[in-house]
Structures are given as structure tokens and as C-alpha cells.
């Protein structure tokens, strides 16, 4: 039986929820969805330059879980940038 998910602690929501290449209608683009955990991991790690122990505690997850979340987010973002896809940030649930 799978272990139940911990309740996540979110500090903020983004001002914008979709980013896309200029000049291409959104209907013509593939959309990569970044979940709110991934958004928070990127924000704290890359933008605010917090270390993984602080971010894991802030998100209420273990360090290995945080690392998986961050790696997933970075893979999605790099794919969208390199392949010209739109990025959608999911609303927290």
C-alpha cells in the first residue's frame, strides 16, 4: 500500500500561469505543465538561492523528495525552452 502524501506548505502563487514563445498562438503549441511543488522548488532554489535543507523543510518534504521535484521541474523547463513549448503552472490543489 502506498504511503499517504504529506500536506504541502506553499508560500505564494505566481503572478502569471502561462509562458509561451512570442508570435505563436497558444493553440499551436504543445504545453508542458509545471505543478505547484515544482514551481516552489524552482523559486526557492534558483531564484531565492536557498539550500536544499531549507527548501525541503519549507515544502514539508524529505530532501530526496525535494530533489526529485526539482529535477522534474528543471527537465520540464529545459524541454520547453529547447523545443519551443508553452509552460503552464498549475494552480495548487
CATH at 51: 1.10.10.10
Residue 62 within a domain: yes
pTM score: 0.78
Range of the domain at 63: 34-89
Structural domain includes residue 13: no
CA dist 20 → 3, 13, 25, 44 (Å):
36, 19, 9, 22
Write out pLDDT tens, residues 52-77.
999 999 888 999 999 999 999 999 99
Rounded Cα–Cα distance for residues 43 and 31 (Å)? 20
For 12-58, write each residue's pLDDT tens digit: 666 668 888 899 998 999 999 999 889 999 999 999 999 999 999 98
- The residues, any chain, with a CB within 8 Å of residue 13's CB and separated by 6 or more, are 36, 91, 92
- Residue 82 resides in a domain: yes
Cα atoms found within 13 Å of the Cα of residue 49, Cβ hemisphere only: 0
Amino acid at each position: 500500500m502506498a504511503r499517504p502524501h504529506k500536506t504541502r506548505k506553499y508560500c505564494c502563487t505566481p503572478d502569471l500561469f502561462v509562458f509561451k514563445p512570442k508570435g505563436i498562438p497558444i493553440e499551436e503549441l504543445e504545453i508542458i505543465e509545471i505543478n505547484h511543488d515544482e514551481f516552489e522548488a524552482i523559486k526557492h532554489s534558483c531564484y531565492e538561492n536557498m539550500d536544499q535543507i531549507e527548501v525541503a523543510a519549507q515544502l514539508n518534504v524529505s530532501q530526496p523528495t525535494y530533489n526529485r521535484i526539482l529535477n522534474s521541474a528543471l527537465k520540464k523547463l529545459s524541454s520547453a525552452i529547447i523545443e519551443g513549448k508553452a509552460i503552464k503552472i498549475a494552480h495548487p490543489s
